[in-house]
Structure 1
Amino acid sequence: MTTICLIRHGETDWNLKGKLQGSTDIPLNETGIRQAEKSAAYLNAEDYDVMVASPMKRAKRTAEIINASLQLPYEEMSNFAECSFGDAEGLTMEERTTQYPDKAYPNREEPEDFIKRVMSGVDDVLKKYPDKRVLIVAHGAVINAILATVSGGEIGAGKTRLMNACINNIHYKQEKWEVLNYNQVEHLSEDL
């Protein structure tokens, strides 16, 4: 059985300000670094076989901090880079609602293309690491797209606000992905 533990990157200054990041490559802030360190302390190397990360700064740095402790084989996969939200990037929720009330952000990655890209990455992981335990460090929209696809829309995109550095677990059993849990943050208690 293949299992995937999805971890959202730690906090950035834009997360703190409520700005939409998307493909804008923002680094972790001090809280985000602490969250990654707490994730590293919480996770056990013997529970995983390999780590995969988005190549974007905030996810890559979170993965590096975690993997300094776990020492897993590591690779980056561009399929797990965050969605591009085009002209809405850098705007707060209030600014986005005012400028784009229909959420039709100019120059954004089309939602169907985004989901196809992310799920193609999940398929690649399944093929490359059959019956392995994979730790993936990625982004909110990426993880929500996976959760929404796997749960048939019950959770994930449009329904679930994922916390920074949250843990989400899915597994592939009997030719089907299932969500085991999501948005787990016990390891971050004082940073919430």
Structure 2
Amino acid sequence: MGDLLLIRHGETEWSATGRHTGRTDLPLTPAGEAEARTLAPYFADHSFSFVLTSPLRRARHTAELAGLHGAVSDDDLCEWDYGGYEGLTTAHVQETRPDWSLWRDGVPPHPDGRPGESAEDVGRRADRVLARITPLLAAGEPDGVVVAHAHLLRVLTARYLGLPPADGRLFRLTTGTVGRLSTEHGLPVIAGWNQRPLPRT
């Protein structure tokens, strides 16, 4: 069975300061572009059965700079919709809700009427992605690649492992890194996490 490589997009202005960035379509910072370019050695001279990316430009641009051309956009790979907490940091939210946890408590509606999402909502999107790609990996095709966002990829990892969506909280994922989901003796495992290519000597 092929492995599934997960790439979190490079740094944005909001990710650098810990602001929840769901559907706000921010570009990469120069540092984020540099992070994405350093990923190219991971993928050079390899073919993949599929490359999927979030439709948001920070993910699409990361794929391009990493040398992953021809990526297909998938709306189910959008980041968690943070509703009324879009653009806020956890510390800011906890000024009025000291015990708040995104994973447990979800978010309030956005002023424009969007309800936001719970962990279970994001889990349903992750399940749809896995249902589409698992047959390709199981058929012995080459590895596949998904380029998306921290919270979405953490939920997708939990669901790949058969865990509840909220257990994505266990898998911290930094910008511009690669994770590898694999199998061992027929069971799903994490084979790599928060990886960066070694510098060339």
**How far is the alpha carbon of 1:160 from its aligned partner?**
2.6
Does 2:172 align with 1:161? yes
**Correspondence for 1:49:** 49
**Correspondence for 2:17:** 17
Is this contact kept in 1: 2:39–2:197, CA < 8 A?
no
**How far is the alpha carbon of 1:127 from its aligned partner?**
3.1
Task: Extract unaligned runs of 5+ from structure 2.
Answer: 110-115
Give, as a single letter, the amino acid of the residue that structure 2 aligns with 1:131. Answer: G
**Correspondence for 1:124:** 132
Give, as a single letter, the amino acid of the residue that structure 1 aligns with 2:152. Answer: V
Query: Could you say what the CA RMSD is over the residues aligned between the two structures, in angstroms?
Result: 2.5
Q: Name the stretch that deviates more: 7-16 or 142-151.
A: 142-151
Q: Tell me the matched-pair count.
A: 185
Q: Summarize the alignment of residues 35-184 of structure 1 with structure 2, pairs less than 5 Å apart.
A: 35-46=35-46, 48-67=48-67, 70-71=68-69, 73-101=70-98, 102-103=100-101, 104=105, 105-107=107-109, 108-128=116-136, 130-132=139-141, 133-153=143-163, 157-171=168-182, 176-184=187-195
- TM-score, normalising length: structure 1: 0.84
SS of the counterpart of 2:182?
strand
**How far is the alpha carbon of 1:24 from its aligned partner?**
1.6
Task: Extract unaligned runs of 5+ from structure 1.
Answer: none
SS of the counterpart of 1:137?
strand
SS of the counterpart of 2:94?
helix
Q: d(CA) in 2 for partners of 1:56 and 1:99?
A: 30
Give, as a single letter, the amino acid of the residue that structure 1 aligns with 2:158. Answer: A
Q: d(CA) in 1 for partners of 2:12 and 2:34?
A: 11
Is this contact kept in 2: 1:42–1:187, CA < 8 A?
no
**How far is the alpha carbon of 1:33 from its aligned partner?**
0.4
Q: d(CA) in 2 for partners of 1:186 and 1:93?
A: 30
Q: d(CA) in 2 for partners of 1:26 and 1:66?
A: 18
**Bigger helix fraction:** 1
**How far is the alpha carbon of 1:153 from its aligned partner?**
4.7
Q: d(CA) in 1 for partners of 2:2 and 2:186?
A: 10
- TM-score, normalising length: structure 2: 0.81
Q: d(CA) in 2 for partners of 1:182 and 1:47?
A: 21
Give, as a single letter, the amino acid of the residue that structure 2 aligns with 1:168. Answer: G
Q: d(CA) in 1 for partners of 2:121 and 2:34?
A: 33
Is this contact kept in 2: 1:52–1:136, CA < 8 A?
yes
Aligned-pair identity (%): 26
Deviations 1:97-149 (A, max 9, x none): 11333344202212112111112102111235542211110110111112222
